[in-house]
Amino acid sequence: MIIILDDVLSKDELENLNEGIDTKVSSDHRLNKYLREWGDVKFAHPLLKIMSEYVLLKSYYNYELWKYESGIYNPPPWHLDKDEELYDKTGILDVPLFGLIYYPLIESLQGGELILEDGTVIIPRSNRMVLFSTGTIQHMVSSYQGYRKSFLINIWDKKNLGRS
């Protein structure tokens, strides 16, 4: 499943989302290794409500949040989103049900495309949302220069990362 949607948030929704991203999501990825419940991600509800038009989001699902914001980036190679802690401890590959990538702001960007294993290339643009089965599709981001802010939500059907 790959779904690309443009111009998904209103100006007010985008301002609220950016405030939530900036205050509630750490750029230190070691601090993002826990899952949040529906009530803990209110700032992201407009995105998740749009996502629910395409996939069934159940009340017991939990949310892993990430943000990336930079001007120059040399990304990691091909990968699957997974429970990194569980994989490092046990070698067990446990993957999220769905993933959502949202680009709040893109400026003067060269590169930075999301590349999927099937050859699909998704160009980031402001107010674009990409939905895909992150755990079943290898992907990567090409190197880039310019400003690229992205917000990611992985959706899990378990309460804690690091456990099977």
| Helix (H/G/I), strand (E/B), else coil: 143 | coil
* C-alpha radius of gyration, the chain, whole number: 15
pLDDT of amino acid 60:
93
State the Cα–Cα distance between residues 103 and 64, nearest whole angstrom. Answer: 17
Global pTM reads: 0.93
Domain ranges of the chain: 2-156
Residue 146 CA: distances (Å) to CA of 79, 97, 110, 149: 23, 31, 6, 10
Residues of the chain with pLDDT below 50 are none
Tens-digit pLDDT profile for residues 97-139: 999 999 999 999 999 999 999 999 999 999 999 998 877 889 9
State the Cα–Cα distance between residues 82 and 76, nearest whole angstrom. Answer: 14
pLDDT of amino acid 113:
94
pLDDT of amino acid 125:
97
| CATH code of the region 2-156 | 2.60.120.620
